[in-house]
Structures are given as structure tokens and as C-alpha cells.
Structure 1
Amino acid sequence: MQLKSMAAIIALALSVSACSGVNKIVYRIDVPQGNYLESATVQKVQVGMTKEQVQYLLGTPVLIDPFSDNTWYYVYLQQHAYEDPVQHNFIVNFDTKGIVTNTDLDKPLPDVEKQEVNNAIIEATEGSEGKRWWQFWK
């Protein structure tokens, strides 16, 4: 009787500890939050642009300064799988007429061209134009 209960306790302990020893087995997707900012788009924002032009390029800001409408905050938070999240803040200041006076980007944004593409391009093979997946006998 004691042998069976000890074997059950050991089996339970091993099964519980086996789950905690495996790290990073579950797939975690990339999570972008806030305004999606690209370096090419941010570089297009110039001093002298109007609020409408900035909003056309970057979209609606995440935060407009509550004490004056002359400061817009674009916040972009990106988390890749198990890495630490990276936050980018882009601040656009306007004068009283709604013209951009200066911009401030806290850290450089990654170039979109340099990022690896995660999508595979599936091309049809020769002679498969008339086939369908359920018509395997053709």
C-alpha cells in the first residue's frame, strides 16, 4: 500500500514539475498597440504642416494634451513574442494657428524594409490551374 501511494506522489510531483521546466513552448504573437509608426512616415512630418496634414499621415493621435490642443502624442508599443516591449513616443507641437513648430521622437524606429517578412508567398505549380484540393485524382 505504501509503495503505491509513494509511486503516485512521485508521479504527481514529476508531472507538475515537468510543466514548469519547459519555457517558451507556447507561441506568442507580436502585439502592436497604439499608433503604428513607420520611420518613413514619421520623417515626412515637417515644420510648417497643418494639423490635417499630420493627421492624414499618422492618423488620430493617442493623446492630445488636455490643457491645450497644441501638443499631440503618438505612442507606439511593440512586443515581439517573449521579448520586452519597446515603446516609441512621437510628440508633435503646434502653434496657435495649427502649424507644426517642432517634433520629437524619443528613439529611432526600426526600418520596415529591414524587417523580415513573416508571410510566405505561395505560388501555383505548373499544371495545377484546373485542379482543386478535393480533386486529387486528376
Structure 2
Amino acid sequence: MKARLLTAFVTGSLLLSGCSVVNFITPYKLDIPQGNEITAKQVALLRVGMTRSQVRFALGTPLLTDPFHKDRWDYIYRDSRGGKVKEAKNFVVFFNENSLVRWDGDYLPDPKAEPAEKTQPLPPSNDNLLMPIDPSNPDSKIIEVKPLMNEGF
């Protein structure tokens, strides 16, 4: 009787302790950028007086068009890494009827704004490319035009 009770107690405690382990095991969470990525290059295209279709062409379709504020478009961008929001940008465009009046908010920097590091080409590693080839001279190195024919290709 005591053995069964002890076995049931140990089994029950092991099962209950397994429930607390579940909190340490978390599923993998994807890195998900969501929304409209508005860059400085796109914002530079905006001009006061542009139509809605011109703004949509320059910035893309807005993420949020509020039916109660028809003259306002919201472009929202969220970048989450591991389930936590790392970057959040809000960009708002305001219209008067069908004409762009103003815009405000955060936008991403232009990825091409940072100058790329220029590298010099490497000198040729083989001097055979610089040697003049003279087929009439027997001492000249001859470059075979079909080097892979002997290999069976």
C-alpha cells in the first residue's frame, strides 16, 4: 500500500514539475517586417498639390485608410525580431479633397545614401596574360584554344 502511494506521489510530482518546464521552451518567432517601408527617396518625390493617385504611385497603397478621416492616409511600418518590436515608423499624408496638403512622420533612411566602399581591382595573378604570343616563334608559349577536348568534355 505504501509502495503504491509512494509511486503515485512520485509520478504525480514528476508530471506536475514537467508543466513548469514548458515555460522555458518557447517556439521560434520569425523576424517579420510588416507594413509600408517609406524611404527618404520616396518622401523626396512628394509635392504639395499631388493627386491621390500620384501619392499612391510614389508611396504605395496606404496600410490604413480611416473611413472617418477620408483626407488622411497612414503608412505604418513595424519590424519585429524574436517577437519584440525593434523598429516602429508612422508616416501620415493629409489631403484636401483630392490634393496633397502636407505629410508628417518617420521614414526609413535611403539605403543608397551611405557611400559604398570602393575597391581597386586586383592585379592579374598570372603573367601569361601579359605575354605576347607569337605562333611563328617555336619558343613562344602556345595557348590551346580547346583545352577541354582532351578531357572528354
Partner of 1:38: 38
TM normalised by structure 1 equals 0.59
Is 2:99 the counterpart of 1:99? yes
Higher Cα Rg: structure 1 or 2? 2
Which structure exhibits the higher relative contact order, with contacts defined as CA atoms closer than 8 Å and separated by 6 or more residues?
1
- 1:46 is displaced (CA, Å) by 2.3
The residue type equivalent to 1:18 in the other structure is: V
Equivalent-residue separation in structure 2 for 1:39 and 1:112 (angstroms)? 8
TM normalised by structure 2 equals 0.54
Equivalent-residue separation in structure 2 for 1:13 and 1:86 (angstroms)? 39
Distance 1:7 1:52, change over 3 A: same
Equivalent-residue separation in structure 2 for 1:102 and 1:2 (angstroms)? 76
Aligned-pair identity (%): 30
- 1:4 is displaced (CA, Å) by 0.8
Partner of 1:52: 53
Equivalent-residue separation in structure 1 for 2:41 and 2:28 (angstroms)? 31
The residue type equivalent to 1:102 in the other structure is: R
Equivalent-residue separation in structure 2 for 1:69 and 1:16 (angstroms)? 51
Partner of 1:18: 21
Which moved further from structure 2: 40-49 or 52-61?
Answer: 40-49
Summarize the alignment of residues 1-138 of structure 1 with structure 2, pairs less than 5 Å apart.
Answer: 1-20=4-23, 22=24, 25-34=26-35, 36-48=36-48, 49-67=50-68, 69-84=70-85, 86-96=87-97, 98-105=98-105, 107-109=106-108
Equivalent-residue separation in structure 2 for 1:108 and 1:59 (angstroms)? 14
The residue type equivalent to 2:82 in the other structure is: A
- 1:66 is displaced (CA, Å) by 2.9
- 1:67 is displaced (CA, Å) by 4.9
Q: Which runs of 5+ in 1 are unaligned?
A: 114-138
The residue type equivalent to 1:43 in the other structure is: V
- 1:68 is displaced (CA, Å) by 6.0
Q: Which runs of 4+ in 1 moved over 4 A?
A: 110-113
Equivalent-residue separation in structure 2 for 1:3 and 1:65 (angstroms)? 64
Please tell me the root mean square deviation across aligned C-alpha atoms, in Å.
2.8
Equivalent-residue separation in structure 2 for 1:26 and 1:68 (angstroms)? 40
SS at match of 1:75: strand
Q: How many residues align?
A: 108
- 1:112 is displaced (CA, Å) by 5.1
Which moved further from structure 2: 51-60 or 70-79?
Answer: 70-79
Whether the aligned pair in 2 keeps the contact of 1:47 and 1:99 (CA below 8 Å) is no
